[in-house]
Amino acid sequence: MKVSTFAYNCGQGIKNIKRNKLFSLASIGTIAACIFLMGVFYAIIANFQYMVKEAEDSVCVTVFFNDDVTEDQIKDIGDKIKKRVEVSRIKYTSAAEAWDNFSKQYFKDDLDLAEGFKDDNPLKSSANYEIYLNDLTMQDALVSYLKSLDGVRKVNDSPVTANTLTDFAKMVGYISVAIIIILLAVGIFLISNTVMIGITVRKEEIRIMKLIGATDMFVKAPFIVEGIIIGLIGAILPVIVLMGIYQKVIVYLMSQFQTFTSQVSFISPATIFSFILPMALIVGAGIGLTGSMITIRKHLNV
């Protein structure tokens, strides 16, 4: 396509928007509302999934050993566990470390009393590995393997916690997909109506252009440009608004609910908007292009 032709199509697309100001503004507003809601839902869902992932990362399987197992055998067991695909990392706590942690927590006001147990550790059978998983759905397979190892006395796992977190993450994902599909459908419908008005207004002009030999693409291009421009404008505006709101909400939550926010963390604005901005532009342009093409195919006989 020549530069002059491209410039003409862009100019005609902008003129179409100006001719149908009311419908164009309605389409821009609706797309902006759709993308704003998509951004809000994405921010909420992404943070929920982030919190769920943090919670999943804190869930571990704990392995205890038989009393007659030596330190070398425990090390061998640890080496085998590390090689499992389900395992993200493991943490070893010896019996002495377990007692030290226990005494600091429960005898913090009278550590001299804890010294009385120094030579007779009540937790001598508490040496263990804490095993953190790459994916909680793999927990059952790992637990079965751990129970089959020689020297393993007991395996503590959290099936209810694992299943709850996994199911919650899936539910959030399904809901987000459903909402996004609905919002996209609404946006495409409104763009289609706006472009259809433009075609109706320029019907006589289009007929004359065809009579003097204009190509199909030359006739269609301004309407395609119109849809894409409306989509892009409708994408940029809500992202700017959403960025300011997101930053203020995070600051507010961090300051007003310190007890809660000390237990969880949020995705930084820079991280979340590095995804939202390109997503909004692609979705906005995509809605505009799709709506234009649907309307052109249906109402523009060229």
Q: Where are the domains of the chain?
A: 3-55+163-299, 60-157
In whole angstroms, what is the distance from residue 245 CA to residue 268 CA?
Answer: 13
pLDDT < 50 stretches in the chain: none
pTM of the full structure: 0.63
The 8 Å CB, 24+ separation contacts for 122-125 are 123/95, 123/98, 123/99, 124/67, 124/95, 125/64, 125/65, 125/67, 125/95, 125/153
- The single-letter code of the amino acid at 157 is D
Q: Distance of CA 46 to CAs 38, 40, 51, 262, 276, Å? A: 12, 10, 9, 19, 11
Q: Which CATH class is domain 60-157?
A: alpha beta
Q: What is the pLDDT of residue 241?
A: 92
pLDDT in tens, 78-128: 899 898 888 888 898 887 777 676 666 665 655 555 555 555 555 667 788
CA angle (290 as vertex; 286, 294 as ends), nearest 5: 175
Q: What is the pLDDT of residue 157?
A: 83
- The single-letter code of the amino acid at 208 is I
Pairing mode of beta strands 87-93, 128-133? antiparallel
* 297 closest CA partner among 196, 213, 228, 189: 196
pLDDT in tens, 206-236: 677 677 776 777 777 887 888 888 889 989 9
Q: What is the pLDDT of residue 94?
A: 82
